[in-house]
Structure 1
Amino acid sequence: MPTIRSAQVNEPGGALRIVERELPEPGRGQVRVTVEACGVCRSDSAFINAVFPDVPFPLVTGHEIAGRIDALGDDVAGWVPGQRVAVGWFGGNCGSCRGCREGDFIHCERMQVPGWAYPGGYSEAVVVPATALARIPDSLTAVEAAPMGCAGVTTFNSLRRSPARPGDLVAVLGLGGLGHLGVQFANRLGFETVAIARGSGRADAAARLGAHHYIDSTAGEVAKQLQALGGARVVLATAGSSAAMSTTIDGLRPGGELIVLGADPEPIQVSPFQLISTSRSVHGHPSGTALDVEETLHFAALTGVRPMTETRPLAEAEAAYQRMLSGDVRHRMVLTTGR
């Protein structure tokens, strides 16, 4: 029986270890993908530490997958072996719940996330539902495409569905794994783009990413600095700090929206007085469907948006994971398989 290598965690909080597993076969409506690259996302730590419910162990996580179709199961149409594909946080939907019946697939009650619902991309091959597939443009490498399945689609999709229009002032809070993509997408979508981060040392990097303005959050009130620029139509909160998010609300113009992407269990501090008279709002946004991922990849290919990445081979998955947790990597860590 053919085998593949996978980085596996045997118990909650355990280390990633390379194991040999049987090559999985696709069932009805499924495809097998040979993994070329897989992003190491901070959300993976929630699976490894069993923060989410019903996480199965032993566990192979990873939901920022890029590779090629290797085999098709029965009743799969529109896809062919050898085709370049990505699979992100959206790893398939049930098709029968209320959300799916309304066409709102990202809110499927039984949405499948790779590395949670089934073995994920820290592996040389994965089997996924065909509904999870997104086409990768030829101009993007697998390493560039992989983070777009989660970090990329989350930032692009939230901005294009926001109330902001070309020429509006849009601020991106944070310049990390999400934020550095958010600044690029905001610029390419035609927004007057503000980057907000800690310290003056990030200003040049923000400008290279496409920011028209930079706000050092340690050098005065963020809200006043946003209002001095005219007030933000949207603040895209990518930093995982509720306290930092709270400081931006008074920087929104009337009708402005704080879009929450960064995860923090602490509450955002906002008074009704900050919202009522100005019609401001605080809005959460999930990632996006497989079609949204495909459209994100297409837009990135057209406009030159690229993730900043650091790569490690699959055999060094534990070291890559620990480096991601340490915060030493400002942007995206990606595992490669050499396939």
Structure 2
Amino acid sequence: MPSYDHPETYKAYAFLEKGGDLKPITFKWRDPEPGEIVVKVIACGVCAGDESGKLGVFPGTTYPIVPGHEIVGDVVAIPNTEKKWKLGQRVGAGWHGGHCHECKRCSVGDFVTCENGVINGVTRHGGYAEYITLRREAVAAIPDGMDPAEAAPLMCAGVTTFNSLRNMSCKPPQLVAVQGIGGLGHIALQVSKAMGYRTVALSSSPSKAELSMQLGAEFYLDGSKVDQGAELQKLGGAALIICTAPNSDIMTGLRLVEGLAVNGEILILAAVPGGTNLPLISLLHKRASVRGWPAGSAADSEDCCKFAKANGVRVMVNKFSLEQAHDALESLSSARFRAVIMP
């Protein structure tokens, strides 16, 4: 069993019961089985999806469960059967934690929608830990020279914005608007600009105007001062509006939908519980559509990292120690961008 020196036990933070708070926990070391590798965690981003493990939203969650699905680290143990991943290699992993290779979705290579897929940090242990065991097919290679604290959020927030945008119907240099300039939105602005779109930032106050322009926005529309839908129409209408801030009234409200061009798309990336009030007549009149998009496979994450490195896409992060995992998770309600745990 090829491996570096490792401890007999290691620390993590986990939800010990459904609805409980994060608590410290100790795991005994386990060598990887065929199809697995063990990674020493260097950085793990904190995402709103981490609450899914706490709340038991998805079937298959058992407790204790270690959250965290924006993982970057170094390979420290592999089974004798492993042919691809090497000891010492810098790798990452995201929301997609593995697939069955056998269902209809896997048969067409759409692994992220696998009927039997697993989720890192939700249905298998995640990255709020010193070490993590990953399924080999869900591992992404991280390019040399990338800051692990910035690369970690690319495994979910980054790949979600990058992969969804490159799969929409719009084409550069059409107009793309980004609603919400936070953890997802500040990455989406950069990705949109780098892909060649005319990019508009949509926010609810003037506080992020200067930053948005620095990140690539051509226009900044402050919803507290202007009708964003009307202003988008003055610019020719948005081919795509990317919704990243979790406010269902704004994301699918009439004013925003009115900002779409004919055949435009509303892309929902922020997970919001409950229903919405879609303006159906407006959608019908514009031949518009509303779409969602899951994060991406390991191959998508690799593409995202290469794109970010080549185009200077930077992730704004606040760093926490592993012992501050509870504080990092609590910061979701007030954090401006991405929190990252550095074990």
TM-score, structure 2 length as denominator?
Answer: 0.95
Cα distance in 1 between the residues matched to 2:63 and 2:26: 16
Secondary structure in structure 2 of the residue aligned to 1:194: strand
By how many angstroms is 1:273 displaced? Answer: 2.2
Query: Larger deviation: 12-21 or 244-253?
Result: 12-21
For the pair 1:49 / 2:55, whether they are aligned, the reply is: yes
Read off the aligned partner of 1:296 and give its amino acid letter: C
Aligned to 1:194: 200
Secondary structure in structure 1 of the residue aligned to 2:72: strand
Aligned to 2:166: 160
Read off the aligned partner of 2:317 and give its amino acid letter: T
Aligned to 2:314: 306
Cα distance in 2 between the residues matched to 1:248 and 1:267: 17
Query: 1:135 is matched with which residue: 133, 141, 157?
Result: 141
Aligned to 1:31: 37
By how many angstroms is 1:281 displaced? Answer: 0.8
Secondary structure in structure 2 of the residue aligned to 1:276: helix
Give structure 2 stretches of 5+ with no counterpart.
Answer: 1-6
Cα distance in 1 between the residues matched to 2:243 and 2:30: 39
CA contact (8 A) 1:64 1:121 kept: yes
Read off the aligned partner of 2:215 and give its amino acid letter: L
Cα distance in 1 between the residues matched to 2:80 and 2:277: 51
Cα distance in 2 between the residues matched to 1:52 and 1:112: 10
TM-score, structure 1 length as denominator?
Answer: 0.96
Secondary structure in structure 2 of the residue aligned to 1:68: strand
Cα distance in 2 between the residues matched to 1:76 and 1:261: 35
Aligned to 2:337: 331
List per-residue Cα deviations over 1:45-67 (Å, max 9, x = no partner).
Answer: 12112233332111111111000
Cα distance in 1 between the residues matched to 2:119 and 2:278: 32
Aligned pairs for 1:1-339 (under 5 A) are 2-245=8-251, 246=253, 247-324=255-332, 326-327=333-334, 329-337=335-343
Cα distance in 1 between the residues matched to 2:132 and 2:271: 27
Cα distance in 1 between the residues matched to 2:284 and 2:68: 41
Secondary structure in structure 1 of the residue aligned to 2:105: helix
Query: Larger deviation: 282-291 or 315-324?
Result: 315-324
Read off the aligned partner of 1:122 and give its amino acid letter: Y
Secondary structure in structure 2 of the residue aligned to 1:223: helix
Considering only aligned residues, what root-mean-square deviation do their CA atoms show, in Å? Answer: 1.3
Structure 1 segments of 4 or more deviating over 3 A?
A: none
Read off the aligned partner of 2:233 and give its amino acid letter: Q
Secondary structure in structure 1 of the residue aligned to 2:126: coil
Give structure 1 stretches of 5+ with no counterpart.
Answer: none
List per-residue Cα deviations over 1:256-290 (Å, max 9, x = no partner).
Answer: 11111111123332233212332211111111000
Cα distance in 1 between the residues matched to 2:188 and 2:114: 25
By how many angstroms is 1:74 displaced? Answer: 4.1
List per-residue Cα deviations over 1:102-144 (Å, max 9, x = no partner).
Answer: 2111110111111122211011111111101111111211111
CA contact (8 A) 2:15 2:53 kept: no
Read off the aligned partner of 1:91 and give its amino acid letter: G
Read off the aligned partner of 1:219 and give its amino acid letter: K
Cα distance in 1 between the residues matched to 2:47 and 2:137: 22
List per-residue Cα deviations over 1:119-178 (Å, max 9, x = no partner).
Answer: 110111111111011111112111111111100000001111112222111000101111
Cα distance in 2 between the residues matched to 1:267 and 1:227: 27
Cα distance in 1 between the residues matched to 2:324 and 2:278: 43
Cα distance in 2 between the residues matched to 1:136 and 1:177: 21
By how many angstroms is 1:69 displaced? Answer: 0.8
By how many angstroms is 1:24 displaced? Answer: 2.4
By how many angstroms is 1:22 displaced? Answer: 0.8
Cα distance in 2 between the residues matched to 1:110 and 1:102: 15
By how many angstroms is 1:207 displaced? Answer: 0.8
Identity of aligned residues (%): 39
List per-residue Cα deviations over 1:280-336 (Å, max 9, x = no partner).
Answer: 111111110000000000000001101100001101111111122x32x11100000
Cα distance in 2 between the residues matched to 1:107 and 1:202: 35
Cα distance in 2 between the residues matched to 1:261 and 1:142: 24
CA contact (8 A) 2:68 2:126 kept: yes
CA contact (8 A) 2:61 2:124 kept: no
